[in-house]
Amino acid sequence: MALERASYRSPLLDEEGCRGGRSKEDGYRVTYLPVDRDGLLKLADLEAAITDETAVVSLMRANNETGVLFPVDRIAEICRSRGVLYHCEALQAAGKVEIDVRKVPADYLSLTSHKFHAPKGIGALYVRRKAPFPPYVCGGHQERNRRGGTESVPLIVGMGKAAQLARKHLPDFERRLRPLRDELEERILSSVPNTELNGHKMQRLANTANITFHGIESEALLIMLDKEGICASSGSACLADSDEPSHVIKAMKPSTAASRQMIRFSMDATTTQAQIRSVVTAVEHDTKALRG
């Protein structure tokens, strides 16, 4: 959840008109906006952070660790009223909630295919007409001169088909998965002592559960669950090789050790009630063993 603003004018393009390095290294300041204990963003903080120097606002549609949803329609309205470009990072939301650029006037919107069961290694960036966008990779006319290089047709076809299927099944996603997610949370929170839900109870994706197990290190519990064939995580996949605590939970609850003691459970269209109950049984057993 970052707001980028320029501290001085820096050359983002090289001599060929291609994009230069990353914004921070190019001399841009990055302002990070806080969230409350439920992981929600205060729109007043966003409005206060935008100045005459602001270049672009980049905010998620849904957080990838807690599933908390941001009001992207209001965010887009604020940015447009202040004449600031808005990038909506919709990776986690794709295939789970409606994404319609006609309703959310974002200037840029990014997706990645594996979040909705397409092959890994491909994504999409929507660029609103007339929004500034220098070529990401120069050297060819592909992608309307925005990214040189031969496209991977099999990956593109796979992503397109997966998007088609995700759209078809979108109305059933919430209806089917929310009860399963709620059952998982309710059973764990009621049967395992010293547990706490992370993220707003209602304003989040239907398939994501993030729970703190106070007094238990995330990695210890993950190892035991893995031995029982249960895949979970202690943060986002982007930081899978890092031993740092979850920066998301740390931002929500900085005064506790929750960022090192949380587990994220994710469900999809293939998840069954039997699997939910199996996970609950394993969590109950493993937490007792770790605390014993």
Copy the structure tokens of residue 214.
């106070």
CA 145 to chain centre: 28
- Site of tokens 């049984």: 281
**How many Å apart are CA 180 and CA 216, to the nearest integer?**
25
| Cβ contact 105:128 at 8 Å | yes
**How many Å apart are CA 72 and CA 77, to the nearest integer?**
8
* Distance set, CA 276 to CA 18, 143, 151, 290 (Å): 49, 43, 40, 21
**How many Å apart are CA 5 and CA 241, to the nearest integer?**
30
Q: Is 88 designated active site? A: no
SS3 54: strand
| Cβ contact 124:103 at 8 Å | no
Per the residue annotation, which of 18, 79, 231, 238 is the catalytic one?
A: 238
* Distance set, CA 245 to CA 67, 81, 252, 257 (Å): 18, 37, 13, 9
| Cβ contact 69:93 at 8 Å | yes
Q: Which residues contact 122 (CB under 8 A, 6 or more apart)?
A: 112, 113, 152, 155, 156, 158, 159
Copy the structure tokens of residue 129.
């007409």
Catalytic residue positions, numbered: 238
